[in-house]
Amino acid sequence: MIKRICLCAVALLACMIDVQAQTQVIAHRGFWKTEGSAQNSITALEKAAETKLYGSEFDVQVTLDGKLIVNHDAKFQGFVIAETPFSKLKKIKLSNGEKLPTLKKYLKKGKKQDIQLILEIKSHKSKEVEDKMAADIVKMVQKMGLEKQVEYIAFSLNICEQLAKLTPESEIAYLNGDIAPAELKKKGINGIDYNQKVLSNHPEWVEEAHRLGMKVNVWTVNKEDMMKKFIDMKVDYITTDQPLETKALLP
Ligand code: MG
């Protein structure tokens, strides 16, 4: 009897590991390599959702006056975002004609889509500002009831540590590639989201993370041979500018 229970437990565990092993696709800065889209635009988010991906990634910066906006670079059309009030930035358009999205507007649109929102909080030179960004973002996400749909990523270890304190139930992954999964786990950070070169040099981190119940994401994988390699390595997510091509390779 005991032997039978043990065998069932082993089978169940194998099944759970197998479920975890299914690689899924995240559109890097949304699905922007398609007509009418642009990086980090609301259109790119909607196109990613239409494509039925696991997630759509986007970047969050803060303006001088504390407004959270969605943009990748620290500069937006000549203005340093962190040193510019929102009133000056809001008039400038993205390359597809959309207005620069505020985080609030972006999340509001995201809530209507069936896709995970992979929210990258960009680093800031001031710890105080980073702490406030993390707190303001978590508060906004909770107020909008998006705790399950939003997953957090950041290069700043400080931001990841703040998130682990503020919202320990959330998916939080560290991007900077210089810390082993077990060390992050001790800090309450439950995922790694590492550059493809890092995971190529440390393939053992995929297994280590999974053993600890952590998720593994890899960026930014745009070449077919690398997509195949990471699917074979059983990472949880591939972040790519080529979501259709990646999806086509999945088993
Ligand atoms: Mg990003």
Going from the Cα of 144 to the center of ligand 1, the distance in angstroms, rounded, reads 22
**157-166 vs 127-143: helix crossing angle, rounded to 10:** 40
* pLDDT of amino acid 15: 46
* pLDDT of amino acid 60: 98
* pLDDT of amino acid 228: 98
Task: Tell me how crowded residue 221 is: count the other CB atoms within 10 A of its CB.
Answer: 27
Q: What CATH number should be reported for the domain whose range is 24-193? A: 3.20.20.190
**103-111 vs 127-143: helix crossing angle, rounded to 10:** 30
* pLDDT of amino acid 18: 46
Going from the Cα of 14 to the center of ligand 1, the distance in angstroms, rounded, reads 33
* pLDDT of amino acid 4: 61
Distances (CA, A) of 226 to 69, 173, 193, 195, 209: 32, 21, 16, 12, 20
Going from the Cα of 2 to the center of ligand 1, the distance in angstroms, rounded, reads 49
Going from the Cα of 249 to the center of ligand 1, the distance in angstroms, rounded, reads 23
Going from the Cα of 58 to the center of ligand 1, the distance in angstroms, rounded, reads 6
User: What residues does each domain of the chain span?
Assistant: 24-193
For 234, phi then psi, to 5°, come to: 60, 40
Going from the Cα of 74 to the center of ligand 1, the distance in angstroms, rounded, reads 12
For 28, phi then psi, to 5°, come to: -75, 115
Going from the Cα of 198 to the center of ligand 1, the distance in angstroms, rounded, reads 17
Going from the Cα of 239 to the center of ligand 1, the distance in angstroms, rounded, reads 10
- Chain position carrying tokens 């930035």: 89
> Under 8 Å CB-to-CB from 225, ≥6 apart: which residues?
none
* pLDDT of amino acid 187: 98
Distances (CA, A) of 106 to 36, 69, 111, 224, 228: 17, 9, 9, 31, 32
Pair of tokens at residue 87: 């009133």
What does each of the 251 residues of the chain score in pLDDT, given as a tens digit? 555 655 555 555 554 544 456 999 999 999 999 999 999 999 999 999 999 999 999 999 999 999 999 999 999 999 999 999 999 999 999 999 999 999 999 999 999 999 999 999 999 999 999 999 999 999 999 999 999 999 999 999 999 999 999 999 999 999 999 999 999 999 999 999 999 999 999 999 999 999 999 999 999 999 999 999 999 999 999 999 999 999 999 99
